[in-house]
Amino acid sequence: MNTNIVNLFNKTSSNGFLNISLANPLHPLDELEPPRIVDTVIEARPMHYTDVNGNRVIDPTRRGLHVAGTNDAPLNVVKPSYNFKGAQYGDLYNAMTSICKASGINCKGARVDSMKSGDGGMGTITLTLPEYTVETAKGDESQFQINGRTSFNGMWAVVLQIGAVRMVCTNGQVFVDSFSMYKAKHTISMDTEHAKRKLAAALNSYQHEAERWKHWTKNSITNREAFNIFAMASKCKFVLSKPTMSVTELMEEPEVYRNRSLQYLWNQYTTDEQKTLGSTHWAVYNAMTHWSTHAPAAKKTAEGSILAIKAKRIESVREAAKSLAA
């Protein structure tokens, strides 16, 4: 364990940011109403086929994953050996709260939220811990989060990650340096000591990221530089291939005005973030996190794909933000 992480566990801060006590763990999480998603239970059912004699028989090579209590089509078709014991939404929530309790972090005032796809095949759970609040600028605060996600349709593994939420606009803050506390294909299992080390490292990473955000509030950026960052996030290679063109000229190009994500990012930046935060790295970053958090998907996008789209946007923001960090 490195010195910073050791110090993190032995240090108490007046602002609550590093207020961790292993000797006297708090358990306000027991008073939280569990998120509604934990009521969704996935079960495996036999699948059938019709044999040459017209009989309906059980297929020994496949099982269907279904939401319990429904007659919906299977979320996924798996082999009989597929094991998802311990990977239910309720298990994910229990793992998240257990990690917090084992680490003894201050969970006073914690909030829990969840989202799931319409068919129940994908879901996310977010724990927000207001005792770990950082102020990037006066009145501009972000709070520490633990984000969990899992799926039963083959889209996601079980993942626990850290993040933050900017309270001014509820944008989900994306860390430049990806930090996963846990990742596995089907099951959730984390011992207490491992949980302590990972959460200590997570809070250390959060502190480092918060310092980066503070620097970004003071770092200026030109419109063309900002546009390049948005082009990276929206996968518009054309913009990056035309370094001598102005933003005004680029906006007239089909590759640009047909890119809905790039248009959204630029509009959010120029009509909102730039006006309130100035022409800064912080404004560019918040235009991107607004897009990844709030921008709607295409009208015909299936509900089950919306969560996947948001997850992809988060990774796009993370990659684009590396240019700001550089």
pLDDT at 23: 46
What's the maximum distance between 2 C-alpha atoms anywhere in the chain?
A: 76
pTM metric for this prediction? 0.80
Closest by CA position to 192, among listed 107, 95, 93, 99: 99
Q: What tens digit of pLDDT does each residue of 242-253 get? A: 999 999 999 999
Q: H or E segment at 227?
A: helix 223-233
pLDDT at 307: 80
Torsion angle defined by CA atoms of residues 280, 283, 286 and 288, in that order, rounded to the nearest 10 degrees: -80
Domain ranges across the chain: 3-39+84-216, 223-325
Percentages helix, strand, coil for the chain (3-state, rounded to 5) are 40, 25, 35
Q: What tens digit of pLDDT does each residue of 46-101 get? A: 999 999 999 999 999 999 999 999 999 999 999 998 888 778 999 999 988 988 88
Q: What tens digit of pLDDT does each residue of 105-157 get? A: 899 999 999 999 888 999 999 999 999 999 998 889 999 999 999 999 888 88
Strands 76-78 and 56-67, bridge-based pairing: antiparallel
CA distances in angstroms from 259 to 164, 226, 240, 323, listed in the order given: 28, 16, 14, 21
Query: What token pair was written down for 99?
Result: 């990690």
pLDDT category at 17 given cuts 50, 70, 90 is very low
